Amino acid sequence: MNENDFFKKLLKETAIAFESAPIKGQQKTKKESWNYAVCETPILRNASIILGLNWGGKNIEAQTDYPKIKTDRTWNFVNNSKKYLEEYLNIKNINKTNYSNLCFFRSPKIKYLKWKDWELSLPLFKKYVEYINPPWLLMFGNSGIPILKHFNHLSNLNRVEAKGITRRSFGYRGILFDKFQFYSVPHPQARISTESRNDIWKQLFTQI
């Protein structure tokens, strides 16, 4: 199955799952449309995956078309993490990797997602990952760690802590879905010192 056909199949499965997801019933007004999406970048098989927790926004239509390559992306997380992505992972162009989210369902805030939403969405994300077969995945933000642990999707999990810094900050490495090397770093907008962020990235990635 080629990438376009796989995307269409997974998008259809996502639409079906969304119909029974609690998140669909939590839209605050009839004017809001939270919806869902599968991925933001074209699918690159055997390439790495960068991900967040879930799609934000409160009035965005459901994804319908296969993503196109964009050269004018202005994602804050990319701009804020550019030096780390280049230094430790040799990623100089976001279009050379895959970008998606752990949960395909959209919401203005993560607090609106219930355990049932995760239960419905994580199998979709797993299919996405298994189709791509990435050498590794990197998640921005550590809030997804307890969710993945709850559903027993993470094994061999190790936590690293920033050294010599007053406020404690953490990063994680482990195995996702019993197969894929997985990393998690503090979100680029997390209020931690530059020293802490540097130390976490260094501890996680200097040996890969």
CATH number of the CATH domain containing 99 = 3.40.470
pLDDT, residue 206, reads: 80
Report the range of poorest mean pLDDT among 78-82, 85-89, 104-108, 163-167. 163-167
pLDDT, residue 179, reads: 96
132 Cβ neighbours under 8 A, 6+ residues apart:
43, 44, 45, 46, 47, 49, 98
Which burial class, exposed, middle or buried, applies to 33 when counting CB atoms under 10 A from its CB (0-12, 13-18, 19+)?
middle
Query: Based on the structure, what is the number of domains in the chain?
Result: 1
Its domain, for residue 73, covers 3-205
pLDDT in tens, 29-79: 667 788 999 999 999 999 999 999 999 888 789 999 999 877 666 666 666
What is the reported pTM? Answer: 0.92
pLDDT band at 140 (very low <50, low <70, confident <90, very high): very high
pLDDT, residue 49, reads: 96
Query: In this structure, what token pair is assigned to residue 87?
Result: 């230094």
Strand order in the sheet with 180-185: 98-103, 49-54, 137-140, 180-185, 170-176, 154-161
Report strand pairing: 98-103 vs 49-54.
parallel
pLDDT, residue 208, reads: 56
Report strand pairing: 180-185 vs 170-176.
antiparallel
Residue 139: beta bridge partners? 51, 184
pLDDT, residue 91, reads: 85
Range 156-171 average pLDDT: 85
* Higher-confidence position of 164 and 98: 98
Residues in the chain: 208
pLDDT band at 106 (very low <50, low <70, confident <90, very high): very high
